[in-house]
Amino acid sequence: MNATAPAVQARNTTHAPAVEARNLVKTYPGDVTALSGMEITVEAGTVFGLLGPNGAGKSTTVKILTTLARPDSGTATVAGHDVLRHPDRVRRAIGVVAQRSGADPVATGRENLRLQGRLYGLRGAALTRRVDELLERFDLADAAQRVVKGYSGGMQRRLDVALGLVHRPEVLFLDEPTTGLDPEARTAMWEEISRLAGDEGLTILLTTHYLEEADRLAERIAIVDRGRVVVEGTPDELKGELRGDAVHLELREAVGGGSGRLLRDALGGLPGVHEILIDGRRVSARADDGAAAVPALLGALERAGAAVASATVARPSLDDVYLRYAGRRFSEAEAAASADASASAAALVTAGDAR
């Protein structure tokens, strides 16, 4: 960060988006494509969620928007500043809470905040007031003189957010802000993020792989899969596009190939049932009336020779939205990302051993 930056930045008073990215492409060695045409627009004063599994390209997008990485192609602006042409201006206008804490673990909470403030040009009484304000706001005043390595996970995360707010940024980037937190600490963080958006009119770009987190916090969501946005809208809009109820059935045995096609044909003629997806032991469909459709689905599957172990009916969720537009369940995408990460790590170890 630029140590000579002014302590308080002028707010962007134009009607231009707070964040805009167009056709971002980013690849890494080993022919790994992180972004394949990422496009997002974030209006000022809103909470915008990038929702996707690990490995979808969310963190790479944030790195580009916060000037920590350069795209292979494409353009992006933050707070009206081009991230490639004017990176210093972007850095002065943003706060960043990365996945890993940036706090000094052997310094106290107060010392961390004072150092961050000094980097942004705050001095004297103004710095003391801002540090005291943030310690109080994030319920860290009693722990201000303790070294950070003794903080709980929730306390460390609250300090990370406070550090990102010292200089009163226009745009705050929260990259997976609640990963690793227990449910109580996660709920507390959600409440604080909601207050930030509501009380200060701050623009927040949030990345998350928690469906509930995106649904609760974000005014608009871009669902990301394999380095691109597959659909965007408000949570209610996205869920409202899915007609009827979601019906999920678990078969006793997996099916595939010809058997899967026979099951799909058997279910396809049922009235009020549509968007049928069969994957191994899982059968998913949308139904105009889920409760009424379950007996017909069970009967059709039984006649086709497929035994059902369980059946559930639910109102549309973001998981259902992801399934429609990405063509796979969120949990399956997460599992695939974990497998890819493990394979990449194994390849690196093998390459190292071969040297």
pLDDT, tens digit, 9 for 90 and up, residues 211-226: 999 999 999 999 999 9
> Which of 23-32, 113-122, 263-272, 337-346 comes out lowest in average pLDDT?
337-346
| Of residues 232, 200, 151, 204, the one with CA closest to residue 18 | 204
pTM comes to 0.81
Q: Is the dihedral of CA 66, 67, 70, 75 positive or negative?
A: positive
Cβ atoms 189, 159 nearer than 8 A: no
The strand order across the sheet containing 245-255 reads 273-287, 245-255, 308-314
Where does the pLDDT of residue 331 fall: very low under 50, low under 70, confident under 90, or very high at 90 and above?
confident
Asked if the model's pLDDT at residue 352 lies above 70, the reply is no
pLDDT tens track for 149-197 = 999 999 999 999 999 999 999 999 999 999 889 999 999 999 999 888 8
Phi, psi for residue 181 in degrees, rounded to 5: -85, 150
Domains within the chain, CATH numbers bracketed: 19-238 (3.40.50.300), 243-315 (3.30.70.100)
What DSSP assignment string belongs to 298-309? HHHHHHTT--EE
> Which residues neighbour 184 within 8 Å (Cβ) at sequence distance 6 or greater?
154
Please report, in angstroms and rounded to a whole number, the separation of the first and last CA atoms in the chain: 38
Question: Can you tell me the mean pLDDT for 38-44?
Answer: 96
Q: What is the pLDDT of residue 90?
A: 97
